[in-house]
Amino acid sequence: MAQRNYVGGEWTEAGTGETFETVNPADPSETVAEYQQSDEDDAAEAVEAAAAAEDEWANTPAPQRGAILREAAGILADRKQELTEELTREEGKTHAEAGGEVQRTIDIFYYYAEKTRDLGGKVKSASAPQTNLYTVAEPVGVAGLITPWNYPIAIPAWKIAPALAAGNTLVIKPASLAPAPVVSIFEALDEAGLPEGVANLVTGPGSSVGDTISTHDEVDAVSFTGSGEVGQMVYDAATQAGKRAQTEMGGKNPTVVSSSADVEEAAEIVANGRFGVTGQACTACSRAIVHTDIYEEFVEAIVEEAESIEVGPGDEYDMGPQVGEGELEGTLEYIDVAEKEGARLVAGGERLEGDRFGEGYYVEPTVFADVENDYRIAQEEVFGPVLSVIEVDDFEEGLEVANDIPYGLSASIVTEDHTEAERFVDEIEAGVAKVNAKTTGLELHVPFGGFKESSSETWREQGDAGLEFYTIDKTVYDNF
């Protein structure tokens, strides 16, 4: 039986009467689930349900809204093992990675449940006597959410939870490659007693469902995470329709390896940042920018790291498959491009077939050395386990190369030189800067977002910033 949409508090079928299937990327012959192939009318119905519920939910005391989020978090926690297996089967992450993502989702719901106790506004001193001067943070209204497949439960959670906590209603369209985790969130919200119409789920194509969510008159704010090309279209459509919009998009994230770095430690940090979640993270390290004094030693060390990774189904191995055939083909194409450009292939580079791999979408952890920063492999986002190693003469050149890209999402440096670390933090053009740490991995209570083409550079996500996007201030002058 096909999974259904969730509209107006009911599990419903799409008006199209059509469905689509997802497959297990470790074994594409295995169908994971069937979902509604919705269209513009289905999306519009969901938006209208959210609009109808808007006033009642906004007027619900914030701690009561938080109680529902807290209950949903508990339900998700009780189902953690099931959700972990579900995520591995549909998206391909290893059990350890999937379990970590599910736990993050639980933590996000608990976090925003508690934040509802602090919502309100700020009291200011008035210039006139007998006057109260204060602000009130009000919900924006109806939020339209469009989410990707690579973190198919955590990213929806860090949009859904603050939107609901702040008193907004919402409609979400999850990525069609892995909708199951969002369905599970909605099952938890439904069981927790979320009033009808407050949150609505519609599966289907971005060209119809996503476009309707971005442009419908009743939608007040649009939050998108995904590719740069689609994100720009969503942002343009939403803002032209007069909506508040935030987009988080791609990255080409560097790790600068200083001459003072411990080479083995640096290689481990880069490998974890590049090959974790099969390289399918917008914050994944894509470029290792290495000082010439330790360059060859680092190349040897990173090759050893790459070759030590055991690839296979996520329930047993270190690195799972790519999510789909299109993503695998894209990665293999970039490998071919890099070799033609003149980069030196030092590890991996092949699709893995036979034995435990079957017809799964597996590729070897791949390392290219002697990459020039103007190569396509160094400038364009490769959403797979492919690392470019770039040699630089000094820290100044390393910083210049790190910034010489269209993106600015996450960046790190490995160094024992405190001055280099401080300069890196000050001068790197990225929304996330890390010292002696991998580019991936985010705390849920601090802002997240990018610079340049990685983001609309409007509002940040997560933490208090996540609430700011979903609220608008009203200033009150009370002359008593």
Tokens 């790459």 found at: 306
Catalytic (active site) residue 282: yes
What are the backbone angles phi and psi of residue 254, rounded to the nearest 5°? -95, 150
* Pair of tokens at residue 362: 């597996």
Q: How far is CA 222 from the centre of its chain?
A: 15
Nearest by Cα to 159 from 120, 196, 122, 201 = 201
Identify the active-site residue in 72, 282, 289, 347: 282
Q: Is 240 exposed, middle or buried (0-12, 13-18, 19+ CB in 10 A)?
A: exposed
- Tell me the β-bridge partners of 169: 142
Nearest by Cα to 400 from 374, 377, 382, 381 = 374
C-alpha span between 253 and 287 (Å, rounded): 6
C-alpha span between 266 and 477 (Å, rounded): 56
Nearest by Cα to 314 from 366, 362, 385 = 362
Cβ pair 106, 71 in contact under 8 A: no
What are the backbone angles phi and psi of residue 316, rounded to the nearest 5°? -135, -20
Active site residues: 282
